[in-house]
Amino acid sequence: MNKPASDRITEFDKRHIWHPYTSMMNPLPAFTVESCEGVYIKLEDGRKLIDGMSSWWSVIHGYNNPVLNRAAHEQLDKMSHVMFGGLTHRPAVELAELLIKITPEKLQHVFFADSGSVSVEVAMKMAIQYWHAKGKPEKNRMLTVMNGYHGDTFGAMSVCDPVNGMHSMFEGVLAKNIFVEAPQCKFDAQWNEKYISQMKNALAENHEQIAAVIIEPVVQGAGGMRIYSPHYIKRLRELCSEFNVLLIADEIATGFGRTGKLFACEWAGITPDIMCLGKAITGGYMTLAATLATTDVAEGISGNGGVFMHGPTFMGNPLACAVAVASIRLLLEEDWQARVLKIESIMKENLFTIKTVLGVRDIRVLGAIGVVELENSVDMAEIQRMFVDKGIWVRPYGRLVYIMPPFIISEKELNTLTETMTEVIREYLSL
C-alpha cells in the first residue's frame, strides 16, 4: 500500500534535505506546511498555527497579502528578471527612491544585494575599498562588539561573536577583526561613559587599521536578542567621526518598524556611513537586500575612475523590487507605529507574568520584539512540539524563546500567542 503523500514528503525531507542549523544524522522535526494566510500557518495535517516568528522576522504584513500578491503578479507579466549590468528598470528605481526617502538624509546611494548576509559583505567591501581609494590600504579591519550576529557568509562570520556565536569552528580561517564587550547599558538605563570605554579605547589604539565599526543598532539579533541604550549608538557615531572610522549600521533585523522606529538608528538620531537592509524589505515575499551609503563613501570609492567590485547575478531583481516597493508603501500608508506600540504593550503585559518563574532569567520587550531568556538551553525538539500542539509557531534557539509577530496580528491573536507561549514555557520548565 502506498504511503500518504504527506508521509512521503516528510520522509524524503528528513532523509535528503538539509535544514538550517540542523544535522542530517539527527534532524529536528520539520512540519509540512500546506498554505499560509494572514498570521496563520496551515500544516498539511490540518492544524493551524499562529505565527510568532514572521518567518524569521520578515513577514510584517502577514501571509498571502493581496496588495503584495498583486504587485508580484503584475511584475511577473512584464519580466521576472533581467541582468542589472548595463540595464535598469522602473521597480529598482522606485525602490531606490523610496529607500533614500525614508532612511537618514545623507544615505543617497543604493546597492542591491541578494540577502542580508550579502549586504553585510557589500558594506564591508565598501569600507575597505573606500580607504584603499583614499590611499590608506592599511585600514582594512573591522571593529565590532561581542554578541553580534551579521550573517553566515565568510565576511559576515568574521564580525559575528567568535566565542558565544555559532561560527566558532571557523575562527582559524576567518579574517581577524577586533572585538570589544557587548553594550551593557539597558535600553532605559541612565547613561554612563563607562559603557563605551572599551570601544573608545579600541578606536584610540587601532583606528589607523580600522576601516569601519559594524553594529546592530539598539537590538542585537541572533547573537543574543539583547536590547541596549540608544545612547551607546549616539556616542559610537561621535567616536567614529572623531577617529576617522566609518560606521556600518546593520539594520537587517531592525529595519522597517520592528523596534517602534522605522529604523533603529532613529532612536539615537544618527546617520551611519553605510546601512544594511534586508529581511522585511519585501514583506517576506522574496529574498532581497540593500546596502546604502553616503555620498562621501560613494565618491570616495568612485573617484579617479574607481569602480565598486561586486555584482550579484540577481542584483536588482525586478520581481523582488516590485514587491518591495508595494510592501514599503503599504507600511507607510498604514499607522504601523500605533500597531507596533500596541503589540509592545500586550507583549509586556503577558510575557512579564512569568518573570519570577524558576528557570526564567530575563524578559525583554521593545516594539514588536518579545524575548524570554531562560537559565538553560531548551530541548528544541521537545519545546517545538509543545508549541505546535498548542497551536502557535515559535522557534527558540539556545536559551532564548522569543517572538516577532507580523504587524497585522489582532489583539485577540496576540493574546493567544503570548498567553500560550508563557503557558508552554511554564510547562516545559516544570518537566
Active-site positions read 21, 149, 250, 279
Which residue shows C-alpha cell 512521503? Answer: 8
| Sequence-ordered list of residues with C-beta below 8 angstroms from that of 273, at least 6 positions apart, any chain | 127, 212, 240, 246, 247, 248, 293, 294, 296, 297
CA distances from residue 56 to 107, 197, 228, 296, 369 in whole angstroms, order as listed: 26, 33, 21, 33, 12
At 194, is the secondary structure helix, strand, or coil? Answer: helix
| 293 Rama sector, left if φ>0, alpha if ψ -120 to 50, beta otherwise | beta
Which residue shows C-alpha cell 574607481? Answer: 306
The whole-angstrom separation of Cα 177 and Cα 86 is 35
> How deeply is 303 buried, as exposed, middle or buried, from its count of CB atoms within 10 A (0-12, 13-18, 19+)?
exposed
CB 85 within 8 A of CB 311: yes
| Sequence-ordered list of residues with C-beta below 8 angstroms from that of 261, at least 6 positions apart, any chain | 267, 367
Q: Which of 114, 153, 109, 78 is closest to 313 using CA atoms?
A: 114
What is the residue type of 145? Answer: V
Give the 3-state secondary structure of 297-355: HHHHHHHHHCCCCCCCCCCCCHHHHHHHHHHHHHHHHCCHHHHHHHHHHHHHHHHHHHC
The whole-angstrom separation of Cα 126 and Cα 114 is 16
